[in-house]
C-alpha cells in the first residue's frame, strides 16, 4: 500500500500544506491566510492550530488520499522548537506565542495523525537535503536571505538543532571590528536590511531609477523583484547595497568554512531566487579567496537552493519521513 506524507509550512502570513509521496512528488496543495482578516493581534494559538488542521484537511481532500495511508505530518514553525515534544518555544511573528505553544500535541489531537514539528529554517534545509539542491551532500550549511537572514546546519547527514533548539541563527552572528559596536549580520545582508536602506535612498531623492520603478507599482515595497529591476537598470545605489551584502555573506561563509569545514553551502530565499547566479558568483569568488586551507579549495560548493516556494512543505514531508522512521507512530 502506498504511503503518503503531509508537509505544512506555517508562516506569519500564510499556511501552506501539501500531500506528497515519500519521493517528494506533490499530489495536492492547500493554502490559507495565517490569520483571519483584522484578527491577527488577538487570535489564540488554539484557533490557529484549527486553521492549520483545516488546511491539512483541504489538502487531503484534494489529493483524494485516504487518511489511513498518511504516515505522518511534518510542520515547519516560525520559532525554535523542541522537536521531541512538538513544543514551539516562541514565535516572534505569531501574536500570543511568546510563552510558547504545544503545536505538535494540539495538531495531533485535531488530525488523529502523528505530527512532528521543527523550526521552519531547519525544515527548509531538510527539504533541500532530501529532495533538492543539498541532496548530494552529507554536510551542508543553509543560508536563507529574506526579511531576515536564516540559517540551518546539517552535519554528517543530521540536522544540528542545537543544545537549546536554537542553532542556525546566522542573522545574529556579528560583524565586528575592535572599537566598534558588534552589528548583527542580518542588519546588512538580509533582503529586509537592503530594502530599508534603499527606501531611505529613495526618500532622500538619491535614486531616481528606483523611484521610477516604484512609481509603476501599486505599493512602494522594495521586493526582490524591484531590486532585480534596479540592478538591471544600472542603479548605482542598489549596486552598492547589494555588493555590501554579497561581500558580507562571502566573509561569513569563509569564516564558517574555516571554522566548521562543511562540504557545501546552499543559499536560498526570495532574493537569491530572484537574482540567481549574478548574486551568487561574486559571493563564491570572494569566499573561496578567503579560505584558510591550501588544498581542496575547489570542492567547497556554494550553490542555490532548488525547491523554491515548495521548500517549506517538502521540508515538512522530509521531517515527517525522518521522524516517523525514528519513532513509533
Q: Number of C-alpha atoms within 13 angstroms, CB side, residue 89?
A: 12
Q: Is the dihedral of CA 277, 193, 142, 326 positive or negative?
A: negative
Q: How far is the CB of 87 from a copy of itself (least distance, A)?
A: 12
* By the rule CB under 8 A, 95 interacts with a copy of itself: no
Q: What is the DSSP letter of 216?
A: T
> Grid coordinates standing for 164?
537549546
Q: How far is the CB of 65 from a copy of itself (least distance, A)?
A: 36
Q: Provide the CA 227 distance to its chain's centre, in angstroms.
A: 20
User: Within a 10 A sphere around the Cβ of 82, how many other Cβ atoms?
Assistant: 17
* By the rule CB under 8 A, 78 interacts with a copy of itself: no
Nearer to a copy of itself, 167 or 201 (CB): 167
* By the rule CB under 8 A, 173 interacts with a copy of itself: yes
> Grid coordinates standing for 146?
529574506
Task: Lay out the sheet containing 70-77: strands in order across.
Answer: 26-33, 14-20, 4-10, 70-77, 115-119
Please pick, from the candidates 48, 59, 83, 89, the single residue that binds a copy of itself as defined by CB under 8 A.
89
* By the rule CB under 8 A, 17 interacts with a copy of itself: no
Query: Judging by DSSP bridges, how do beta strands 81-82 and 70-77 pair with one another?
Result: unpaired
* By the rule CB under 8 A, 294 interacts with a copy of itself: yes
Please pick, from the candidates 296, 326, 328, 329, the single residue that binds a copy of itself as defined by CB under 8 A.
296
Q: How far is the CB of 164 from a copy of itself (least distance, A)?
A: 5
* By the rule CB under 8 A, 281 interacts with a copy of itself: no
Instruction: Report the distance separating Cα 218 and Cα 221, nearest Å.
Output: 9
* By the rule CB under 8 A, 25 interacts with a copy of itself: no
* By the rule CB under 8 A, 262 interacts with a copy of itself: yes
Residues that bind a copy of itself (CB under 8 A): 80, 89-90, 139, 151, 153, 155, 160-170, 172-180, 182-183, 188, 244, 247-248, 251, 254-256, 258-263, 290, 292-296, 299
Amino acid at each position: 500500500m502506498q504511503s503518503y506524507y503531509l508537509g505544512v509550512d506555517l508562516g506569519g502570513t500564510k499556511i501552506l500544506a501539501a500531500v506528497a509521496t515519500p519521493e517528494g512528488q506533490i499530489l495536492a496543495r492547500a493554502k490559507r491566510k495565517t490569520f483571519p482578516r483584522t484578527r491577527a493581534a488577538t487570535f489564540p494559538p488554539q484557533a490557529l492550530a484549527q486553521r492549520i488542521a483545516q488546511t491539512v484537511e483541504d489538502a487531503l481532500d484534494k489529493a483524494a488520499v485516504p487518511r489511513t495511508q498518511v504516515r505522518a505530518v511534518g510542520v515547519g514553525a516560525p520559532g525554535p522548537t523542541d522537536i521531541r515534544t512538538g513544543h514551539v518555544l516562541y514565535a516572534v511573528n505569531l501574536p500570543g506565542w511568546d510563552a510558547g505553544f504545544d503545536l505538535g500535541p494540539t495538531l495531533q489531537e485535531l488530525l488523529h495523525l502523528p505530527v512532528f514539528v521543527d523550526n521552519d529554517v531547519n525544515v527548509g534545509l531538510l527539504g533541500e537535503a532530501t529532495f533538492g539542491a543539498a541532496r548530494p551532500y552529507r554536510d551542508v550549511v543553509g543560508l536563507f536571505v529574506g526579511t531576515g537572514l536564516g540559517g540551518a546546519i546539517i552535519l554528517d547527514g543530521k540536522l544540528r538543532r542545537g543544545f537549546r533548539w536554537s542553532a542556525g541563527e546566522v542573522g545574529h552572528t556579528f560583524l565586528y571590528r575592535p572599537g566598534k559596536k558588534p552589528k548583527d549580520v542580518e542588519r546588512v545582508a538580509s533582503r529586509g536590511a537592503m530594502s530599508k536602506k534603499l527606501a531611505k535612498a529613495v526618500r532622500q531623492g538619491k535614486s531616481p531609477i528606483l523611484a521610477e520603478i516604484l512609481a509603476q507599482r501599486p505599493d512602494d515595497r522594495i521586493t526582490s523583484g524591484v531590486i532585480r529591476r534596479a540592478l538591471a537598470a544600472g542603479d548605482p545605489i542598489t549596486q552598492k547595497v547589494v555588493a555590501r551584502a554579497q561581500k558580507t555573506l562571502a566573509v561569513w561563509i569563509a569564516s564558517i568554512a574555516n571554522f566548521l569545514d562543511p562540504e557545501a553551502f546552499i543559499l536560498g530565499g526570495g532574493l537569491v531566487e530572484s537574482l540567481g547566479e549574478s548574486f551568487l558568483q561574486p559571493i563564491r569568488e570572494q569566499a573561496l579567496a578567503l579560505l584558510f586551507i591550501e588544498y581542496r579549495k575547489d570542492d567547497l560548493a556554494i550553490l542555490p537552493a532548488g525547491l523554491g516556494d515548495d521548500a517549506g512543505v517538502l521540508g515538512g514531508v522530509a521531517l515527517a519521513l525522518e521522524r516517523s522512521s525514528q519513532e513509533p507512530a
